[in-house]
Amino acid sequence: MAPNKKPSNEYAQRIAQGGLRASWVLLLLPLVLMWVGALVGDNGILKLWQLKNEIRRIEEQNRHLEAKNARREKEIYLLKTNPGYIEALARKELRYLRKGEKLYWFEKEAEELSEETP
C-alpha cells in the first residue's frame, strides 16, 4: 500500500503546484490588463502625452497671435494719433509725393515696383 500512496501524494503535489501557478496567473492577469489599459487606453499615458503636446502647440500659437495683435494695436494707435505716421505709410505703400518733390525712377527699382504692383 505504501507504493500507492506515494504516487498519489506526488500527484496531489503537482495538482497543488499547478493550482498555485493558476492562481498566480489569475492574480497577475488583471494587473497586467490594467497596466496596459493605463498605458494605451482612452485616458492612458499615451493620450496624456498627446494632449500635452497639443497644449504646447496651442500655447505657442496663442503667443504668436498675441504678438500679432499687439503690433496691430500699436499701428491702430499710431493711425489714430500720429499724422506723420499716416503720411509715411501713404508715401511708402501708395507712393504719394509731397508738392514739389521729384521722383527719380531707376531701371532696377522700376522693374521691382512693376513686379509688386498688381
Domain coordinates of the chain in residue numbers? Answer: 1-40, 47-118
Q: What is the pLDDT of residues 91-100, one digit of tens each?
A: 888 888 888 8
What one-character DSSP code corresponds to residue 91? H
Q: Is the pLDDT of residue 103 over 90?
A: no
Residue with cell 490594467: 34
Q: Compare 104 and 80 and report the one with higher pLDDT.
A: 80
Q: What is the C-alpha to C-alpha distance for residues 77 and 90, in angstroms, rounded to an integer? A: 16
- Mean pLDDT throughout 4-14? 58
Dist CA 113 CA 95 (whole Å): 10
pLDDT value of position 97: 85
Phi and psi angles of residue 63, each rounded to the nearest 5 degrees, phi first: -60, -40
Q: Is the dihedral of CA 106, 99, 96, 79 positive or negative?
A: positive
This prediction's pTM: 0.50
pLDDT tens digits, 34-90: 877 777 777 778 888 999 999 999 999 999 999 999 999 999 999 999 999 999 898
- Residue 92 and residue 88: Cα distance in Å, rounded? 6
